[in-house]
């Protein structure tokens, strides 16, 4: 029976709930939901609505209040939950949570943004290098891996509305795009492109200039699957009608 996995940068879970996130979850009813940018600690959020729907939920929060954070919500209780990646400079920012289900593992990740300047862009480059090595080490132990989340990079010109105008902007820099090409050539597949090689859909829109209404967006939220799972991907689509955030949810159905 196929498993449905949704990845969603909610840009603040408390704000999303005020915008009807709880009703959306009840209606969508995925097997697993991976949230990024929760911007809260579990004790700050009444998650009874998810528990009533039969979900387990596991949180990794940033040390800094109201910042970053990931939450994995699943109908099946994970066999194992691992908070972070063991590298303090990333773990203190609440960027990764791993859940194991039988013989496959799910990583819910929020990659750093470099938009605030050179210091954070350098931090982002360091994260990309370290994450690449760490994920490949983990793959030796857990060969069936799904890595979802906000990667904060648009990979190709088909993944951004204005490639020429954004070529010097963080999130579409040549070095970032090269990393994505290397990543998807190293034993991982882009689930969306596996199903839709040329389709243009976006997962994030600026709040400025009516970008979302005009569909001037970026595809920066991804579901990477190990090559041994890529033929199991049945569907991937962007749920653009869900508007609790400047991102939209990314839905994947996989016969795992």
Q: What residues are labeled active site?
A: 150
**In angstroms, what CA-CA distances link 178 with 24, 173, 184?**
36, 9, 10
d(CA 246, CA 54): 27
- Contacts (Cβ under 8 Å, ≥6 apart) of 225: 145, 146, 147, 188, 189, 191, 194, 232, 233, 254
d(CA 123, CA 115): 11
Enumerate long-range contacts of 119-126, CB under 8 Å, 24 or more apart.
121/170, 123/89, 124/152, 124/170, 124/176, 125/175
């Amino acid at each position: 029976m196929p498993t449905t996995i949704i990845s969603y940068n909610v840009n603040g879970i408390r704000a999303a709930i005020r915008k009807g996130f709880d009703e959306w979850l009840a209606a969508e009813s995925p097997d697993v939901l991976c949230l990024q940018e929760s911007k809260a600690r579990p004790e700050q959020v009444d998650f009874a609505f998810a528990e009533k729907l039969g979900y387990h939920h596991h949180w990794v929060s940033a040390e800094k209040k109201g910042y970053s954070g990931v939450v994995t919500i699943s109908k099946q209780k994970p066999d194992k939950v691992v908070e972070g990646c063991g590298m303090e400079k990333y773990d203190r920012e609440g960027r990764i949570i791993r859940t194991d289900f039988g013989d496959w593992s799910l990583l819910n990740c929020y990659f750093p943004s470099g938009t605030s300047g050179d210091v954070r862009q350098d931090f982002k480059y360091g994260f990309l290098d370290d994450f690449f090595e760490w994920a490949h080490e983990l793959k030796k132990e857990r060969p069936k891996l799904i890595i979802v989340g906000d990667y904060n990079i648009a990979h190709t010109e088909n993944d951004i509305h204005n490639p020429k105008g954004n070529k010097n902007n963080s999130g579409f820099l040549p070095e970032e795009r090269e990393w994505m090409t290397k990543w998807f050539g190293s034993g991982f597949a882009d689930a969306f492109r596996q199903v839709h090689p040329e389709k243009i859909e976006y997962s994030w829109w600026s709040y400025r200039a009516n970008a979302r209404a005009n569909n001037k967006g970026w595809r920066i939220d991804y579901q990477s699957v190990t090559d041994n799972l890529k033929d199991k991907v049945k569907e991937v689509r962007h749920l653009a009608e869900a508007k609790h955030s400047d991102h939209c949810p990314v839905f994947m159905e996989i016969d795992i």
